[in-house]
């Protein structure tokens, strides 16, 4: 069992990172750390995809010296997915950071619990 | 290839480009463009629906130049056409009904941004409905999330920012799980297109390999989409989000966005993982139990709430519970009931949110529902709209909610081991629904503090207050006809789903059969 984990070291690390990122996004109170958690989570998925797409001993899928058969190259789709995923996660990160800035300007805190407390207080008054 | 077959692609791209174009238009122009795109989408979806009903089969539409196992595809069938038609109709009515409040709530220089979000929301919902490619679905899930967040925070008042951050965090958790699920599925099957992926899944199941990975994939995708659609234990963001956005945004978010994710989940169950595998894995039982919990707990929360809009939002939690319960029954009829309830809830909840704001307006914008006392007399149409919506949610005959409950109950009778739980859940939840919705309706038509003059025994008393508030009302009211028209259309839609449910149910059944 342990040897399997070692053999698939990239996938193991990716899953551990995913767990760390997910937990950070879910449980951390600091908004910036939450966003970092989100990025760790997304990056873990990209690592997983990249590790799965790579095939030992094959070439980058760019035809330069006339070799046509597919077995000479590794799978290009996961790399494409990683690129798309990066674009998506950049835009969500930007949106979250922009929201964080607005929240900080308004409540002078990055602590989510504190922000919600202030929101409640605002509501009552 | 006929012209109609291009329509799904046209409607997606039309909505997306009107979003892009809106960024350089003024608010009014952006609004007109948005409305035009919505009407065009409605017409095109109706054409797709008619085409698929006529042809009796679904079709795939190749995007780009790569054929089936590699490229990207759109797929349209009866269920897709029907969902797209109803979604675009409800979206159009929500935008029209909440129009005036949108222009009040949103800064004048930012109105066009609001309509960009509406256009993007429309295009992402359509893409979620029509796509045949898993990764495209993920990308549009994210676009949907971003557009939803934009719709929430554009109000820039009170709680909207904190509501938006709550929404974003929960949505990102859901998206993350969904993405890792897709990635695992891609690694196991080697396909992103749904049909080849399904063939690969069938081969894997037949060989009996990858048992644990398949279970993990199923669980992770289900939980991810359940978080995003607000199934009970993950519902904490719903009351904040729906309760504090501008009315159009609330109606769209509660009525359509969560349904888009549920539709995607159903599609993945049928078209990728295989419904029989999903049932065999017992994942449906988990969804069933959480759905039941949501039905009861959502209503209990709603009863304890005093803020009307939050009450309606908590009722959404209960209704999402119904839908997942239907999926969880694990039968054809259960799924039909779930899909029908999806439509019922979209139509009804949007009506409730839009008419609630009309009632608030004539009652001094207080949050407490008791301030709405007598509001039904001050804004007749909104009062009637709200009453119809509330009765439909409770399950009053002739309205669509009744048909959903009937379908759920009949479906439950065919699944012996889940029958008692479902029927008890339905009964309890209906009673709880009735408690808070009828309390609201009675308040609307009650005569209390708000019309105290009435207590002095003079007819003019009531008339006086009514007249005064109506004056104040009409002073701020520029286009009452649009609001009224939207409410009337919503009521008609509800009556249509309630009185002529058979064609819809048949279409859903035909659509689900085409999924395989």
Kindly report the three-state secondary structure assignment for every residue of B320-388.
Answer: HHHHHHHHHHCCHHHHHHHHHHHHHHHHHHHHHHHHHHHHHHCCCCCCEHHHHCCHHHHCHHHHHHHHH
DSSP 8-state symbol, B5: G
Spell out which residues of chain B touch residue A20, defining contact as CB-CB under 8 Å. Answer: none
pLDDT of residue B465: 46
Q: Is the Cβ–Cβ distance between B445 and B374 less than 8 Å?
A: yes
How many residue pairs from chains A and B have C-beta atoms closer than 8 A?
A: 80
- Residue among B468, B446, B442 at smallest CA distance from B455: B446
Q: What dihedral angle (degrees, nearest 10) is formed by the CA atoms of B425, B426, B432, B434?
A: -170
pLDDT of residue B459: 40
Q: Is the Cβ–Cβ distance between B359 and B402 less than 8 Å?
A: no
Distance (Å, whole) CA A8 – CA A3 = 9
- The residue extents of the domains of chain B are 301-446+478-516
> Is A22's CB within 8 Å of B173's CB?
yes
pLDDT of residue B448: 62
Distance (Å, whole) CA A51 – CA A11 = 7
Q: How far is CA B347 from CA B79, B90, B342, B379, B422, in A?
A: 17, 6, 9, 21, 24
Distance (Å, whole) CA B13 – CA B59 = 19
Q: Is A111 helix (H, G, I), strand (E, B) or coil?
A: strand
pLDDT of residue B479: 52
Query: Dihedral of CA B512/B514/B515/B516: which sign?
Result: positive
Reading the block at residue B71, the tokens are: 């490229």
Q: How far is CA A58 from CA A62, A70, A71, B190, B268, in A?
A: 11, 10, 8, 18, 33
Q: Is the Cβ–Cβ distance between B477 and B376 less than 8 Å?
A: no
The secondary structure element, H or E, covering residue B325 is: helix B308-329
Please give the angle made by the CA atoms of A99, A102 and A108, to the nearest 5 degrees.
Answer: 120
The DSSP result for B398-447, as a single string, is TSHHHHHHHHHHHHHHT-HHHHHHHHHHHHHHHHHHHHHHHHHHHHHT--
Q: Consecutive 10-residue runs of chain B (516 residues): their mean pLDDT? A: 88 93 90 93 93 88 83 90 94 90 84 92 94 93 93 82 90 94 92 91 89 91 92 86 86 91 93 88 89 92 87 91 92 92 92 87 75 81 90 89 92 88 91 89 75 42 44 48 87 90 91 86
DSSP 8-state symbol, B75: E
pLDDT of residue B509: 92
Distance (Å, whole) CA B129 – CA B263 = 7
| Spatial CB neighbours of B149, under 8 Å, sequence gap ≥ 6 | A95, A99, B164, B167, B168, B171
Of the partner residues A18, A95, A123, the one whose CB lies closest to the CB of residue B146: A95
Q: Helix B111-130 crosses helix B27-55 at what angle (to 10 degrees)?
A: 10
A71 pLDDT above the threshold of 60: yes
pLDDT in tens, B135-145: 999 999 999 99
> Is B169's CB within 8 Å of A100's CB?
no
Q: Is A30 helix (H, G, I), strand (E, B) or coil?
A: strand
Distance (Å, whole) CA B159 – CA B161 = 6
DSSP 8-state symbol, B449: G
CA Rg value for chain A: 21
pLDDT in tens, B477-494: 445 788 888 889 999 999
Spell out which residues of chain A touch residue B175, defining contact as CB-CB under 8 Å. Answer: 92
Mean pLDDT of chain A: 89
Dmax (CA) for chain B in angstroms is 82
Asked if A41 reaches chain B (Cβ–Cβ under 8 Å), the answer is yes
pLDDT of residue B143: 94
Distance (Å, whole) CA A74 – CA A58 = 6
- Residue among B381, B345, B281, B332 at smallest CA distance from B509: B332
For domain A2-60+68-124, which CATH number applies: 2.60.450.10, 1.10.287.3510, 1.10.40.50, 3.40.50.10070? 1.10.287.3510
Of the partner residues A49, A92, A103, the one whose CB lies closest to the CB of residue B162: A103
pLDDT in tens, A90-102: 999 999 999 999 9
The secondary structure element, H or E, covering residue B266 is: helix B258-268
Reading the block at residue B11, the tokens are: 């409607």
Of the partner residues A81, A92, A115, the one whose CB lies closest to the CB of residue B135: A81
Q: Report the residue of chain A nearest B141, measured CA to CA.
A: A88
Phi, then psi, of A73 in degrees rounded to 5: -115, 160
pLDDT of residue A123: 78
pLDDT of residue B184: 93
Distance (Å, whole) CA A100 – CA A112 = 10
Residue A36 distance to chain B (closest CA, Å): 12
- Residue among B20, B30, B27, B76 at smallest CA distance from B50: B76
The pTM for the full model equals 0.92
């Amino acid at each position: 069992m342990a040897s399997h984990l070692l053999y698939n070291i990239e996938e193991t690390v990716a899953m551990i990172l995913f767990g760390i990122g997910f937990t950070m996004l879910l449980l951390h109170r600091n908004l910036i750390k939450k966003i970092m958690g989100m990025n760790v989570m997304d990056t873990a998925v990209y690592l997983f995809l990249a590790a799965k797409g790579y095939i030992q001993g094959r070439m980058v899928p760019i035809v330069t010296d006339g070799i046509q058969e597919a077995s000479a190259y590794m799978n290009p789709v996961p790399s494409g997915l990683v690129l798309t995923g990066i674009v998506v996660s950049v835009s969500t990160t930007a949106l979250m950071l922009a929201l964080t800035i607005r929240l900080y300007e308004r409540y002078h805190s990055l602590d989510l619990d504190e922000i919600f407390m202030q929101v409640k207080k605002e509501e009552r008054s | 290839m006929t012209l109609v077959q291009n329509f799904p692609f046209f409607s997606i791209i039309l909505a997306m480009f009107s979003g892009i174009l809106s960024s350089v238009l003024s608010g009014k122009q952006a609004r007109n463009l948005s409305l035009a795109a919505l009407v065009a989408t409605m017409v095109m979806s109706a054409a797709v629906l008619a085409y698929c009903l006529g042809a009796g089969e679904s079709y795939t539409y190749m995007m780009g130049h790569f054929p089936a196992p590699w490229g990207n595809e759109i797929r349209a069938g009866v269920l897709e056409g029907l969902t797209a038609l109803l979604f675009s109709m409800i979206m159009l009515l929500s935008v029209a009904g909440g129009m005036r409040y949108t222009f009040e709530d949103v800064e004048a220089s930012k109105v066009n941004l609001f309509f960009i979000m509406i256009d993007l929301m429309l295009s992402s919902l359509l893409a979620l409905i029509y796509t045949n490619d898993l990764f495209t679905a993920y990308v549009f899930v994210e676009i949907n999330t971003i557009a939803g967040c934009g719709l929430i925070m554009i109000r820039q008042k009170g709680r909207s920012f904190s509501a938006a951050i709550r929404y974003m965090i929960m949505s990102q958790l859901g998206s993350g799980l969904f993405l890792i699920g897709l990635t695992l599925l891609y690694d196991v099957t080697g396909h992103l297109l749904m049909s080849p992926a399904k063939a690969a899944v069938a081969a894997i199941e037949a060989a009996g390999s990858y048992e644990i990975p398949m279970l993990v994939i199923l669980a992770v995708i289900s939980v991810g989409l359940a978080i995003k659609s607000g199934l009970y234990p993950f519902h904490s963001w719903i009351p904040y989000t729906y309760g504090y956005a501008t009315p159009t945004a609330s109606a769209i978010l509660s009525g359509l966005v969560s349904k888009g994710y549920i539709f995607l989940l159903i599609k993945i169950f049928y078209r990728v993982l295989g419904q029989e595998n999903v049932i065999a894995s017992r994942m449906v039982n988990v969804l069933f139990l959480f759905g039941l919990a949501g039905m009861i707990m959502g209503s209990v929360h709603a009863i304890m709430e005093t803020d009307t809009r939050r009450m309606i939002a908590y009722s959404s939690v209960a209704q999402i519970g119904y839908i997942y319960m239907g999926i969880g029954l694990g039968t054809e009829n259960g799924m039909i009931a779930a899909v029908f309830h999806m439509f019922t809830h979209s139509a009804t909840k949007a009506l409730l949110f839009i008419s609630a704001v009309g009632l608030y307006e004539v009652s001094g914008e207080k949050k407490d529902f008791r301030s709405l006392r007598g509001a039904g007399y001050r804004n007749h149409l909104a009062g009637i709209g709200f009453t119809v919506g509330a009765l439909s949610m409770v399950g009053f005959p002739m309205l669509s909610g009744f048909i959903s409950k009937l379908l759920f109950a009949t479906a439950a009778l065919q699944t012996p081991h889940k029958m008692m739980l479902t029927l008890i859940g339905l009964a309890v939840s209906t009673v709880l629904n009735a408690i808070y919705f009828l309390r609201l309706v009675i308040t609307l038509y009650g005569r209390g503090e708000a019309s105290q003059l009435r207590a002095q025994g003079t007819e003019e008393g009531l008339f006086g207050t009514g007249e005064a508030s109506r004056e104040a009302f009409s002073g701020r009211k520029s286009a009452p006809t649009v609001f009224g028209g939207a409410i009337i259309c919503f009521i008609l839609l509800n009556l249509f789903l309630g009185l002529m449910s058979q064609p819809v149910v048949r279409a859903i059944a035909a659509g689900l059969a085409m999924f395989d």
